[in-house]
Structure 1
Amino acid sequence: MTHYLISFPSGAMDATPDELPAVGEAAMAVVHAAREAGVLVFAGGIDETTPPVRVAGDGTITDDTYPQTAQLEGGYTILDLPTREAAHEWATRIATACRCAQEVRVFGEGSESR
């Protein structure tokens, strides 16, 4: 199976502040369905209230980020799926719940966490 990253930037959501609780419930329902299906690896979002830092190999901490990732935000789901088509199906479910299009990417070979 392959790990797929399904994600979106927070600004892409088409929901008013009053609608956010319902969006959150719908998103959690998809997460629970993925867990029940045995495909969930991770689901969560970036805490946009906490600024990022960079940590160097010598332990030096810098209060900034790489320019390429300055806008890293939003929600992220990692699913372990048999096909790209299955990833597209789950991305559709997440897009419906979160009210915005989802980006699908494939993770390369890496270490297993489970």
Structure 2
Amino acid sequence: MSRYLISFNDGAMDHIADGDWDDVATSSQAVFREAVDAGVWVYGAGLERQRASVVDTDGAVTDGPYPETKEVIGGFAVIEVDTREEALAWAAKLAAGCRCAQEVRVLMADAEQEALYSPRPAR
């Protein structure tokens, strides 16, 4: 199985009218519950709108994002599924629930890190 990052950019939900936020929360939370029930959910969260801090290799901290960065992550989910097609299907559900496009990327596997993950319930 592989883990996938499904994310959307900060501002991707700016088109949602103030009166629609409860419906968006309900529909997106239904997808989260479905993913938990299916045993594919690892973690996810929205990110508060703010400038990120960038910590350099020497420990120096500067306000980010870097000037050439036009977009930052606004929210994400990490799921664990057998195929990219499954990840894309979950991203489609999240896109519909959140009412915004989702980016899908596979997370690189690292055996040592995998050993540190807490055991996951079987699907």
Q: TM range, normalised to the smaller chain?
A: 0.7 to 0.9
* Structure 1 residue 106, shift from structure 2 partner: 0.9
Q: How many residues align?
A: 113
Kindly state the Cα deviation for residue 58 of structure 1 after the two structures are TM-superposed: 4.0
Cα distance in 2 for partners of 1:8, 1:17 equals: 19
Q: Distance in 2 between matches of 1:108 and 1:24?
A: 30
Task: Rate the CA distance shift 1:56–1:79 in 2: closer, same or farther, 3 A.
Answer: same
Deviation at 1:67, TM superposition (A): 3.7
Are the aligned partners of 2:31 and 2:94 in contact in 1 as well (CA < 8 Å)? yes
The TM-score normalised by the length of structure 2 is 0.78
Corresponding position of 1:53: 53
TM-score (norm 1): 0.84
Correspondence 1:1-114 to 2 at 5 A:
1-13=1-13, 14-48=15-49, 50-67=50-67, 69=69, 71-110=71-110, 111-112=113-114, 113-114=117-118
2:56 and 2:78 mapped to 1: Cα distance? 27
**3-state SS, counterpart of residue 71 of structure 1:** coil
2:11 counterpart SS class: helix
CA RMSD of aligned residues (A): 1.9
Change (3 A) 1:79 1:69: farther
Q: CA deviation at 1:31?
A: 0.8
Residue identity over aligned pairs, in percent, reads 40
Structure 1 residues 107 and 69 mapped into 2: Cα distance closer, same or farther (>3 Å)? farther
